[in-house]
Chain A
């Protein structure tokens, strides 16, 4: 017999009961689209510069960059884990790629270097978590500092800038009037959604995130899949690194750090639950757009750059709150 008094006090209290009746993914996504339209409306009313083509495309470009980095994190969170090292991974990969390209080698080699290193870092995270059974936030937190430290060391306090135009096109170029990163975002969205929704492995990832023990007892190879998502997260960080590098045309050891909070916020605002098993890449796209609108709004309204971390922090906390309260999860009472 259990200490039922305390156990009952700890039971999940289903608050928003109506939301539980259907897998209400579509409703959630529609809500976010509505929020985007609302924000766009408000910004259009507050600033003349908002609706210009250049600005809108810029917002989309920003969103795409954030989305690329947020993709891997989304997969990891869907699978019930977390990755604090995505931004540091981006930093190191971008710096390494920059070094390679600057030394005269082909940009493709730079890209390959970035992807290889980032995937390796992701795989190491995965191993630490699946084999060594370290808690995800701790392992990836340590990895964050390791990667950041390596980047600092490699760059030696310098910046690397000035890359061949062909490479820069990845980040700054346009194709048929639309920024290249947006195509990348679309491609990754399609590929990623295909992976998560239309493959067995994708279904298994959702299952693991929703209830890892039930997934294990259903015959799903949990640790193998977890290792895979962390490796994929690493890979996506590398891809984001390359595009980001192309966009800003410079690499320095602090480039990734300001991205961590916005990326986490984007994933959470997009509807992916911190507890796993719920969410989608499309949601993350919408979350990235929302965040890009927030940042764009701050720029248009002349809010100084110093306010950004603060506002993003508030947005992040708000997103977490909505996630927890909206799903009726109360971990503790008493």
Chain B
């Protein structure tokens, strides 16, 4: 490459801590054995990671914009419930999907509106909408699972295109869409700006608050689509099944190197984070370590990664 020598060059960013950690986890999982590396298990992993990947994509954008969405899991459950109820009521898949998207979008707009227009702290707002979504799901289902959905949706879940399971394709498509949004549209650029220097955006004459709402709305829409996978997987909907998934999503984003404060986002990092968490959980499952301790270890992992990243940042304070 004959690029002219410049006084200020494009510096490839240092790899986020997730890369070595992820490698470590994968190698560890393979070495630990217990059937981890079997073809069936790997295929399973892909399916397991799909929903988490979908949740983690908009979560990356939200965290980049100095926000947080604690309601993602609850909203996903609610969307799943709504979708299932539509199906059980005899409506077609398209109508069910539309309903699910509507619910997700509504919550996304609510979250975004409260955070952006009223300046309420995101963690409290989404805590409130978490309760509302969870409550709504419980009320609609009276606490029971919704079943009798007909064969349509589970067939969708089991479907393959060119040998790749459809859920995985949908998840990868979400990644692709998010990537395009973040790096090739104004919307994505404004996500960087809202997190990094909101004033710059306002000075440039852009309506920052509207775009800010859009970030959360995107999260709601994706939850609506992810409900397809969730409902298809069990061929039923349970009101509380996805509660807590936002934790894994947030963990994946944080592990992947996205920062809470500066409008710095690593979408690929999030993907690696999702992969790492999925592999970690799977391996721990195979080793017989229960879910609760898995959560503990992820929590500790988050703290460690944050500490490493912030230590690195202080060392890098003076650019050349």
Which A positions have Cβ atoms within 8 angstroms of B? 3, 5-7, 9-10, 82, 84, 128, 132-135, 137-139, 141-143, 145-146, 148-153, 156, 253, 260-261, 264, 274, 304, 306-314, 316-317, 320-321, 324-325, 329-334
Contacts and interface: CB of A to CB of B under 8 A. Distances in A.
Given A152-B292, A313-B129, A314-B132, A3 B203 contact: yes
Interface string B216-246: 0000000000000000000000000000000
B58 to A, nearest CB: 18
A264 B123 CA distance: 12
A138 B130 CA distance: 17
Contacts of B299: 142-143, 145-146, 149
Interface in B289-320: 290-296, 298-300, 302-303, 306-307, 310
B123 A317 contact: no
A156 B291 CA distance: 10
B124 A264 contact: yes
Nearest to B141: A306
Contact of A313 (B135, B143, B250, B298): B135
A322 to B, nearest CB: 11
B294 A313 contact: no
Given A132-B307, A334-B208, A304 B292 contact: no
A320 B131 contact: no
Contact of B292 (A137, A150, A324): A150
B93 interface: no
Interface string B111-149: 000101011110111011111111110110011000000
Given A306-B138, A332-B198, A134 B306 contact: yes
B209 interface: yes
Given A132-B307, A146-B300, A150-B296, A138 B260 contact: yes
A145 B142 contact: no
Given A6-B199, A133-B310, A332-B209, A317 B292 contact: no
A274 B118 CA distance: 14
Contacts of B138: 306-307, 309-310
A160 B298 CA distance: 27
Given A150-B292, A261-B131, A317-B114, A307 B123 contact: no
Nearest to B129: A313
B119 A320 contact: no
Nearest to B306: A134
Nearest to B239: A306
Contact of B135 (A9, A309, A331): A309
Given A148-B295, A316-B127, A321-B120, A153 B290 contact: yes
A63 B133 CA distance: 25
A321 B131 contact: no
B68 interface: yes
B192 interface: no
Nearest to A153: B292
A313 B128 contact: yes
Nearest to A331: B119
B119 A145 contact: no
Given A317-B114, A330-B119, A149 B124 contact: no
B303 A324 contact: no
21 contacts: A5-B203, A142-B303, A145-B298, A149-B295, A150-B293, A151-B292, A152-B291, A156-B290, A264-B127, A274-B121, A306-B142, A307-B138, A307-B139, A309-B132, A309-B138, A310-B135, A316-B127, A320-B120, A329-B119, A332-B198, A334-B208
Contacts of B203: 3, 5-6
B202 interface: yes
Nearest to A303: B139
A158 B280 CA distance: 25
Given A264-B124, A313-B135, A153 B293 contact: yes
A149 B295 CA distance: 6
B247 interface: yes
Contacts of A334: 202, 207-209
- Pairs A-B, 8 closest by C-beta atoms: A310-B135, A313-B131, A152-B292, A331-B119, A306-B138, A309-B135, A149-B296, A149-B295
A79 B312 CA distance: 29
B260 A316 contact: no
Contacts of A332: 116, 119, 198, 208-209
A127 to B, nearest CB: 11
